[in-house]
Copies of this chain bind each other. A is one copy, B any other.
Amino acid sequence: MKTIGEIGEHEAIRRLTAKLGTHPFLRTGAGDDCAVVAVPGTGIDQVFTTDPIIENIHFKSMEEPGRIGNKAGGRVLSDIAAMGAQPQWLLVNVVAPPEQDFQAVEEIYAGLNALCNRFGTTLIGGDLAQGPCLELHVFGTGTVPAGKALLRSGATCGDCIFVTGSLGNSIKGKHLDFVPRVEEGTFLRETGWVTAMMDISDGLATDLRHILKQSGVGAVLDAGTIPRAGTLNQALYDGEDFELLLTASAEHADALRLQWAERFNTELFRIGRITDRSDELVLEQENGLLEVLKQKAFEHFSEK
């Protein structure tokens, strides 16, 4: 008998993911940011995701409730954006103890609704249940043209690697106030040049490994080009940036960055390239030295 703490979050999720179902309409099951299913006769695929945030794990109880609502919904919209999809419907389960201040729950809803209004999505349902601490479980759906969802599995050798914004140090506030990259995700999909995409929730180094593993490739990150909100180590390993991480063919890299700059008046940061060395993640230091990065995932489920 092994506990989840002994097995570790990532291995536990891997084993549970293997137990998910199959269906002829299911294009992509778990293992990507969203599940993708065909909606026959519409030319549209629907994407589904769900994300929990839990008091003292994902947020402190003294945080402003509106920001907690923003984070809970934003994580789901970020997953949908990472598929290049347009968010559609959200539902939320709130778990709280009886002594929970009700006004704070109303403010959490207000934070969620403000986010929904901003991104053209609608909170259509949910539930409230008694439990030992405050938790939000947000479920979301989105839509994307059939077969066009951007997966983690499409990167090929020679592609360039990009991120949409600064990384690291999100604990200072960004983890609560981030803006999910919804418009950016759709824009990137529509260029037709993006080969793989995901959002950064566990840190650049950890999340890039998902693309490497699922695409069967390796990568070299160019340390000097990674946009940082703190140290290089924070940029590589801090979680909850909620920027998009993507790959695109080198041939279109310049055009992609140009179109991005015209559209968003910011930079699309080119931070490295895809190699054929399967699963190998290399950091090229500013002095030219190469360092193979070891796996160093942020693991929840640390035993107390």
Contacts and interface: CB of A to CB of B under 8 A. Distances in A.
Given A13-B128, A30-B125, A93-B137, A21 B98 contact: no
Interface residues of A, number: 75
A50 B3 contact: no
A130 B13 CA distance: 12
A49 B127 CA distance: 9
Interface in A58-99: 89, 91-99
Interface in A261-283: none
Contacts of A132: 131-133
A137 B267 CA distance: 39
A15 interface: yes
A64 to B, nearest CB: 15
B131 A98 contact: no
A280 B46 CA distance: 43
A234 B106 CA distance: 34
A295 interface: no
A132 B134 CA distance: 11
Given A3-B100, A93-B52, A113-B21, A129 B30 contact: no
Copies of this chain, count? 2
Interface stretch (A32-40, A149-157, A223-231, A239-247): A32-40
Mostly helix, strand, loop or mixed at chain A's interface? mixed
A26 interface: yes
Interface stretch (A4-12, A164-172, A187-195, A205-213): A4-12
A135 interface: yes
A41 interface: yes
A2 B105 contact: no
Interface of A: 1-7, 9, 12-13, 15-16, 19-23, 26, 29-30, 34-35, 37, 39, 41-42, 48-52, 54, 57, 89, 91-103, 105-106, 109-110, 113, 116-117, 122-133, 135, 137, 139, 141, 300-304
Given A19-B106, A30-B125, 10 more contacts: A15-B102, A21-B116, A34-B125, A42-B42, A54-B129, A57-B130, A129-B300, A131-B133, A132-B133, A137-B137
22 contacts: A2-B101, A2-B102, A3-B99, A3-B101, A4-B97, A4-B98, A4-B105, A12-B128, A13-B128, A23-B124, A26-B124, A30-B125, A41-B41, A41-B42, A42-B42, A48-B125, A48-B139, A50-B126, A50-B127, A54-B95, A57-B129, A132-B132
